[in-house]
Amino acid sequence: MTNTSRFIYLDHAATTAVDPRVLEAMLPFLQDKYGNPSSVYRFAGQAKEALEAARRTVADILGCRPGEIVFTSCGTESDNLAIRGVAWASRERGRHIITTPIEHHAVEATCHQLAEHFGYHITEVPVDRYGLVDPDDVARAIRDDTVLITVIYANNEVGTIEPIAEIGRIARERGIPFHTDAVQAGGSLDLDVDRLQVDLMSLSGHKFYAPKGVGVLYVREGTPLLPVQTGGGQEGRRRAGTENVAYIVGLAKALALAHEQREAEAERLTILRDRLIAGVLSSIPDAHLTGHPTKRLPNHASFVFEGVDGEAILLQLDLAGVAASSGSACASGDPEPSHVLTAMGIERRLALGSLRLTLGRENTAQDIVDVLAILPEIIHKLRALSPFYAPSSKEMARPAR
């Protein structure tokens, strides 16, 4: 089997390396300026000033007020706070939530828990074969007791970008808070909350070259939100706990860098992505692209392969020096097919053969060349060992290696 002498990282949807400029911005608050921002003396004031400067930076990028920014520990916490916070604050008005069947587990599991243990009713509007939500379906699902709509901005498994602004317009016309999980979109798509017409937005720093362990929840002023984590009065009494100043500073720096180079980097990655997609589909028989062909994240390529197990593909890629994923990193090791692919109508036998390749700043055109030399050989080898794959004429015509 072909191997690359270089390590090729193609799992940026799972996590990213901390940018050296981000680490440099963080270090003073891990070493010299380590005060608690809630204390009143001058030494602590350095941390407080940095915290509020970071809040202003994030607010400027999102087009909102600094007071509408809540710093959290991760995207999962942001999703939990948004959904539970609004649901619990609005429970006297109603207990109906609208979502989709392709949400990240942080949203899906939270909604299911609210239904199972707290008496909420969850409506999942369908998606089409590309994973796209029809805004009209959202409108039809609204009831008098609907208290929240939550729809992912860009899907983590297949990269499809949802019509968030259209859904937001519908929610606003009906006076219903609208939340979007923008964790995958944070480094590459427009985050202006007014253009998107969202009331709550979740972000996670480690998806755009900040460290793991820090996130953001945007909460539009006037949106009902009951704190999930209680204690002190931090984050405008919406999220108790001493703020992780160094990581928050790092997140703000990383988001600013991503915002500055967003358009240029998206253009570069789209070229590489499309080259990768075209190469896979042309060189591997019975390979299928998942997600929308054009309305997808600029760095995201995802496939299913007939007659091959996704975990086996990952193991072989790892041996060849390529890091990839079979879907959500939060669900790795799950023997069941992806709930996202199932919701899109992809058959179980195909869904079990999924592969996600997500690009980042360090990836080059040579990486694409190398992967396209490695992956077809891996698929051919695995199919030759499978009793469940009936090769097509194109597969049978492949020269022996």
Side chain identity at residue 252, one-letter code:
A
Q: Mean pLDDT check: name the lowest of 40-54, 117-131, 166-180, 208-222.
A: 40-54
CA dihedral sign of residues 2, 7, 8, 9: positive
> For 316-343, what is the HEC assignment?
HHHHCCEECECCCHHHCCCCCCCHHHHH
Residues serving a catalytic function are: 330
Per DSSP (E only), the strands in 51-152 are: 69-72, 96-99, 121-124, 146-150
- Among 260, 277, 305, the domain-final residue is 260
The answer on 282 and 252 residing in a single domain is: no
> 296: domain CATH number?
3.90.1150.10
Q: Give the 3-state secondary structure of residue 254.
A: helix
The answer on 268 and 223 residing in a single domain is: no
Range of the domain at 277: 8-16+261-386
CA distances from 218 to 49, 78, 235, 332 (A): 20, 9, 11, 29
Local confidence band at 6 (pLDDT 50, 70, 90 cut-offs):
confident
> Rounded CA gap, 160 and 290, in Å?
9
Residue 147 reports pLDDT greater than 70? yes
- Among 211, 227, 260, the domain-final residue is 260
The predicted structure's pLDDT at residue 393 = 52
CA distances from 72 to 78, 139, 248, 310, 331 (A): 6, 31, 9, 33, 22
Q: What is the DSSP string of 353-371?
A: TEEEEE--TT--HHHHHHH
Local confidence band at 258 (pLDDT 50, 70, 90 cut-offs):
very high
Share of residues in the chain with pLDDT > 90 (%):
89
Kindly give the pairing relationship between strand 322-323 and strand 96-99. unpaired
Q: Give the relative orientation of helices 262-283 and 245-260 as an angle to the nearest 10 degrees.
A: 80
The predicted structure's pLDDT at residue 1 = 53
Please state the rounded mean pLDDT for residues 214-238.
96
The answer on 153 and 236 residing in a single domain is: yes
Asked whether residue 135 is domain-assigned, the answer is yes
The answer on 294 and 250 residing in a single domain is: no
End-to-end alpha carbon distance in the chain:
8
CA neighbor of 88 nearest in space, from 198, 213, 230, 221: 230
* pTM metric for this prediction: 0.93
Asked whether residue 393 is domain-assigned, the answer is no
> Rounded CA gap, 131 and 330, in Å?
19
Residue 330 reports pLDDT greater than 80? no
Angle at 218 between CA 73 and CA 45, to 5 degrees: 65
Asked whether residue 308 is domain-assigned, the answer is yes
Residue 67 reports pLDDT greater than 90? yes
The predicted structure's pLDDT at residue 26 = 98
CA neighbor of 245 nearest in space, from 234, 261, 255: 234
The answer on 133 and 12 residing in a single domain is: no
The answer on 285 and 206 residing in a single domain is: no
> 236: domain CATH number?
3.40.640.10
The answer on 199 and 156 residing in a single domain is: yes
Average pLDDT, the chain: 94
Residue 280 reports pLDDT greater than 70? yes
Share of residues in the chain with pLDDT > 70 (%):
94
Kindly give the pairing relationship between strand 322-323 and strand 8-9. parallel
Asked whether residue 131 is domain-assigned, the answer is yes
What does residue 67 show for φ and ψ, rounded to 5 degrees? -70, -10
Local confidence band at 326 (pLDDT 50, 70, 90 cut-offs):
confident
> Rounded CA gap, 203 and 182, in Å?
6
Local confidence band at 40 (pLDDT 50, 70, 90 cut-offs):
confident
SS3 content of the chain, % helix, strand, coil (to 5): 45, 15, 40
The answer on 236 and 321 residing in a single domain is: no
The predicted structure's pLDDT at residue 389 = 78
The answer on 84 and 26 residing in a single domain is: yes
Local confidence band at 181 (pLDDT 50, 70, 90 cut-offs):
very high
Please state the rounded mean pLDDT for residues 88-100.
97
The predicted structure's pLDDT at residue 399 = 45
Asked whether residue 32 is domain-assigned, the answer is yes
Asked whether residue 394 is domain-assigned, the answer is no
> Rounded CA gap, 232 and 383, in Å?
58
Local confidence band at 391 (pLDDT 50, 70, 90 cut-offs):
confident
Residue 373: exposed, middle, or buried by beta-carbon count in 10 A (0-12, 13-18, 19+)?
middle
Per DSSP (E only), the strands in 195-237 are: 200-204, 215-219
The answer on 323 and 227 residing in a single domain is: no
Residue 401 reports pLDDT greater than 50? no
CA neighbor of 167 nearest in space, from 125, 111, 116: 125
The answer on 318 and 276 residing in a single domain is: yes
The total number of structural domains in the chain stands at 2
CA neighbor of 236 nearest in space, from 70, 115, 84, 72: 70
Asked whether residue 3 is domain-assigned, the answer is no
The predicted structure's pLDDT at residue 170 = 98
Please state the rounded mean pLDDT for residues 215-224.
98
The answer on 247 and 146 residing in a single domain is: yes
Residue 2 reports pLDDT greater than 90? no
Asked whether residue 235 is domain-assigned, the answer is yes
CA neighbor of 359 nearest in space, from 5, 8, 91, 2: 8
Please state the rounded mean pLDDT for residues 310-338.
82
- Among 260, 278, 302, the domain-final residue is 260
